[in-house]
Amino acid sequence: MIKIWNMKAKEAAAEKKKPKTSAAQIRVQKDLSELEIPSTIKLEFPDPSDILNFNVKINPDEGLYNGGRFAFTFKINNNYPHEPPKVHCTQKIYHPNIDLEGNICLNILREDWKPVLSLHSVLVGLQYLFLEPNADDPLNKEAAEDLRQNRSGFASNVKRSLAGGALKGIQYDNVLA
């Protein structure tokens, strides 16, 4: 009889040591299970047991950024879905909506975030930034001004920067696939 009580006590102690699944983890699991993304977006989980931190690669197959491979980190805190994921571009790229430090200007990652939005919404929004850069809400004001003033010059600058070229004294990362 004592053995049974000891076993029960050990089971209870082991159960207490298990990390509890947070509401954010449950929601991210749901978002990931329902995710339907195009072949131009790839998710990578450096630590498969940590679904709140992962990497995303976007390879646009059309538009000015066609041929580039863009890397992002996603960090989701325990207030998700009440707060948006923290998304950061890991490369130095020439884009009106991504600054040189990798910060991203996407309205649903800031003021327009709502808990009904999902990871799918963020991924589609990121991909759309490469198809239609937005010069009206820039983080990189020089790139936005180039886009507004001279679209063909902007396209030329994008092409040069994708290959790791320098523009106005700034060296960009080679992101060609």
Hey, where are the domains in the chain?
20-171
The pLDDT of residue 51: 96
- C-alpha 119/C-alpha 161 separation (Å) is 28
H/E element holding 75?
strand 70-75
Question: pTM of the entire structure?
Answer: 0.87
- C-alpha 83/C-alpha 167 separation (Å) is 36
Q: What is the pLDDT along the chain (177 residues), one digit of tens a residue?
A: 566 666 666 666 655 555 678 999 999 999 999 999 999 999 999 999 999 999 999 999 999 999 999 999 999 999 999 999 999 999 999 999 999 999 999 999 999 999 999 999 999 999 999 999 999 989 999 999 999 999 999 999 999 999 999 999 999 999 996
105 in active site: yes
Could you tell me the fold of the domain covering 20-171? Ubiquitin Conjugating Enzyme (3.10.110)
Contacts of 24 (CB under 8 A, 6+ apart): 52, 76, 77, 78, 79, 80, 81
The pLDDT of residue 137: 86
Contacts of 91 (CB under 8 A, 6+ apart): 70, 71, 102, 173, 175
Active-site hit among 105, 119, 126, 147: 105
